[in-house]
Structure 1
Amino acid sequence: MDIFSLIGIILALVALVGGSILKGAGLSSLWSSAAFVIVILGTVAAIMVHTPPAVFKRAASIVMWVFRPPTSERAELVARIVEWSNIARKQGLLGLEPLVNDQNDPFLKKGLQMLVDGLEPEAIRHMLEIDLSGQEHEDLAAAKVFEAMGVYAPTLGIIGAVFGLIAVMKNLADPSKLGHGIAAAFTATIYGIASANLFFLPMASKLKSVINGRSREREMIIEGLIAIAQGENPRNIESKLAGFLH
């Protein structure tokens, strides 16, 4: 669990609610069904037009990475790769074959299988880098969905405010409705700006950080497997991979 993200979301809500109370606007000013429909549903509608279905589904599947990123035990992974290099030096690459099906990570499993199959180091690197690039591209496209939502939401907030002001203009003959109407108009602006800057854009940045970390880990796997294929000394492999731990 990423405690920082959870605390950030809680503080964002506290800032909105607390700010509204401290400014004298009250809690009721933060709720408007019309603003919700225009800004939130409008943003979702815009992003569905903006995004291919596959990317939208991937974005929905990785959104929880903001709070619960994929586990990464790089030190343990380095130790495992060094252990494989020791096995390969003593028993040959075929000695790693019983370990292939024990790997839960498809990327790691594929790389280890290619190592056992005796592929040339450059062939292993080429194929794994294609997989890495493809997965990274897919995940970054999904993260950009939330970035785009952070762009659309403020604009739709302005549209909501304009609609509210139109309603106010229609009731100029009744001064008792003007104050409430203007307040409701600006609620849509709050929805748009707050959702973009407190939720959508920070979520996109956090997801990009997680994706970059996963890519870095896969780069480490590639370098470790290539070093084993080239028959490097296990101590040298450990020293090389140690740079990925920082």
Structure 2
Amino acid sequence: MDKASFFGLLVALVGIITGLLLEGGNLGQVFQPTAALIVFGGTLGAVMLQFPLHTVLSAFRRLAQVFFRPEDENRKLIDKMLVFANKARRSGVVSLDADLKSIDEPFLKQALTLAVDGTEPVELRKIMTLSLDSRMEGEERVPAVFESAGGFSPTIGILGAVLGLIQVMQHLDKIEEVGKGIAVAFVATIYGVGAANLFFLPAAGKLRLRMREEHQRCEMMLEGVISILEGINPRMLEVKLSGFLDERDKEPKELAA
């Protein structure tokens, strides 16, 4: 669980609701299903018009990563690469062919397969860098979906407010209802601005951070495989790959023999 995401959203909502209550308001004033339908329905439609359906669905599938981060296994990855390095040093890189079936990460499996097949380090780096760049280009569209939603929702909120005011103006004969109607009309603006700044834009930023972590992990795999192919000493390999770790993960550890 990403505590920063959960507590950040909670603090923002508590602060806004508390301010509303201190001003003498009540939650019923901002709970307007019609306004929510206009803002969120209109925003979803605009996003689907801008992006292909599979990209929008992919963005929703990745939404859980805003609140839940994958387990950090970079330390375990380094240990795995050291095992491969020691085995390759004793029996040759071709001996790693038997370990390919046990590898779950597609990127690592592809890189190690090329190494076992005798690909030169320079060519292997070119091939895998191209694959990584292509992958990142596709994944960049995921946070872009939420950034677009963050741009559309405030404007659609204004549209909802205008629609509400049109309805109010048609009933000016009931002057006692006009003030209440205007207040209700502006709830759509609150939904639009609030959704953009409390969820859509922060979610896009968090997803970019997650993708950067995944990209860094792939870079670690690539450097590890190339170093093994070049016959680097396992001690030096651990030091090299440890440079990818965050400071909190760089625990003192006896270097592999």
Q: Place the TM-score, normalised by the shorter chain, in its bin.
A: over 0.9
Question: Distance between the aligned counterparts of 2:119 and 2:126, measured in 1?
Answer: 11
Q: Deviations over 1:114-147 (max 9, x none)?
A: 1221211122212211221122111111111001
Q: Are the aligned partners of 1:58 and 1:139 in contact in 2 as well (CA < 8 Å)?
A: no
* Corresponding position of 1:19: 19
Question: Distance between the aligned counterparts of 1:101 and 1:66, measured in 2?
Answer: 31
Secondary structure in structure 1 of the residue aligned to 2:68: coil
Greater fraction of residues in helix: 1
Question: Distance between the aligned counterparts of 1:208 and 1:225, measured in 2?
Answer: 26
Counting aligned pairs with the same residue, the percent is 39
Q: How does 1:140-155 map to 2 (within 5 A)?
A: 140-155=140-155
* Corresponding position of 2:206: 206
Q: CA RMSD in A?
A: 1.3
Amino acid across the alignment from 1:69: R
Secondary structure in structure 2 of the residue aligned to 1:244: coil
1:125 aligns with 2:105: no
Q: How does 1:60-75 map to 2 (within 5 A)?
A: 60-75=60-75
Amino acid across the alignment from 1:90: R
User: Unpaired runs of 5+ in structure 1?
Assistant: none
Question: Distance between the aligned counterparts of 1:13 and 1:40, measured in 2?
Answer: 18
> What is the deviation of 1:96?
1.1
> What is the deviation of 1:57?
2.0
TM-score normalised per structure 1: 0.95
Question: Distance between the aligned counterparts of 2:70 and 2:60, measured in 1?
Answer: 15
Amino acid across the alignment from 2:245: L
* Greater alpha carbon shift after TM alignment, 96-105 vs 199-208: 96-105
Q: How does 1:47-66 map to 2 (within 5 A)?
A: 47-66=47-66
User: Unpaired runs of 5+ in structure 2?
Assistant: 247-257
* Corresponding position of 1:184: 184
Amino acid across the alignment from 1:218: C
> What is the deviation of 1:53?
1.7
Question: Distance between the aligned counterparts of 1:193 and 1:115, measured in 2?
Answer: 51
Question: Distance between the aligned counterparts of 2:23 and 2:229, measured in 1?
Answer: 66
Question: Distance between the aligned counterparts of 2:42 and 2:32, measured in 1?
Answer: 14
1:158 aligns with 2:155: no
* Corresponding position of 2:225: 225
Q: Deviations over 1:192-213 (max 9, x none)?
A: 0000000000000000001011
Amino acid across the alignment from 1:243: G
Question: Distance between the aligned counterparts of 1:234 and 1:109, measured in 2?
Answer: 20
* Corresponding position of 1:194: 194
The 4+ residue runs of structure 1 with deviation greater than 4 A are none
Count of equivalent residues: 246
Q: Are the aligned partners of 1:144 and 1:204 in contact in 2 as well (CA < 8 Å)?
A: yes
Question: Distance between the aligned counterparts of 1:61 and 1:129, measured in 2?
Answer: 26
> What is the deviation of 1:18?
2.5
Question: Distance between the aligned counterparts of 2:125 and 2:69, measured in 1?
Answer: 26
> What is the deviation of 1:233?
1.3
Q: Deviations over 1:150-201 (max 9, x none)?
A: 0000000111111112222222221111111111111011000000000000
